[in-house]
Structure 1
Amino acid sequence: MVKRIAALSMLLLLATTIEAKPFKKVVGQEFPAVKVTDLMTGKEVDLSKELKKDEIKGAVITFTCIGCPVAKAYEERKEDLVKKYGDHFVFIFLNANMGSETADAWKDYAKESGYSGVVAVDEGSKIAKEIGATVTPECYVINPKGTVVFHGPIDDSQDPKYIEDQLLANALESLVTGKELPEEKREMQAFGCGINYAKAEQ
């Protein structure tokens, strides 16, 4: 119990840039249109078309960034999920922090960090604003119809030693197996650093 409290305290200390924005519940709603340029390949990605492919069970959209220590703590875990579920899910990593980070810096960081999946910029922080994303990392799982079926953090502990609930992995597994995800596990507040929305769009 003491270790658990210590871990949670560390989370609060590290997530120093969390902004006081309201938590927006979106499970059951349609995710905004995603048409982005993959910075790693230069190719245009239209998520609606990707979701129509026979082998695809859904998509994972994760809002993340360069400078957040919480997001950095999850880099290995994010890549592990891509390796395990990449054949059945479209993984898109969106940087909406265009108020403080650049596309070139984001591309370089993604390369250095060994990102797989689609690495893109949320121009004008438009998608983040529309869906209500507030922190990094914050994840949304959508089904082939484009409906949000999970919204929340990757798991329940920034420190991997204290993970008790593999929230995102369980959501993906539910789509692969067809087993329904418990209602209380479908949506919860993500923890991390506040998204610095593009200044021109504020």
Structure 2
Amino acid sequence: MSAFFLYSSERRSDLLGKGNNLLEASKIIGEEWKNMTDEQKKPYEEIAKERKEKYQQEMEVYKQKKEEEAANLKKEEDEVMRIQKVEALQLLKKKEKTDNIIKKTKEMKKKKTKEDKVVDPNKPKSLHLLSFCSERKNMLKERPETNTSTINALISLKWKEMKEEEKKMWNAKAAENMEAYKKEMEEYNKKTAAVEQGSKSEC
């Protein structure tokens, strides 16, 4: 507020109390201020000056605070953008990795010919198949439209990304089945050799 407005605020209530209306009070205040000496105006001017300086100081503090808030907000937004970019890049790499595995699996499947050896259904399952049998069943339920090659590729990817603790658990299960697997393979190989020997004898 200027010095005049300070004086005006001080005098207005007194003049209105004496029966003057707002317009009349404003005219009287204007005339009084015009006729006042510099000495009479000085106290109001000093108060106005002090208030102005205080206002400017408060504005500086306010502006600085706003600038700091804006800088912090910008910093937070930049950090969020950085994290989003990193996450997006990781997802992209993971997708590319999965796509490459699926692509390689499909290429390997195409290279197979009709003369490929038919897998004997009596042959004992490998430890890897035994270990992931339940995992394959779950994936087949979740993705019934996905072919076996793709399921195998996804299981392989899952194994690579699995934590060491989980791998140890599966390896422990595999170790438990190792002896039984070896015995089954020995018996299978003996039977296969006997069948082949019998075929040669007939020839």
Answer yes or no: same fold by TM over 0.5: no
Q: Which structure shows the higher strand fraction?
A: 1
Structure ranking higher on relative contact order (CA contacts 8 Å, 6+ apart) = 1
Q: Which has the larger radius of gyration?
A: 2
TM-score range, shorter chain: under 0.3
Q: Which structure shows the higher helix fraction?
A: 2
TM-score (norm 1): 0.19
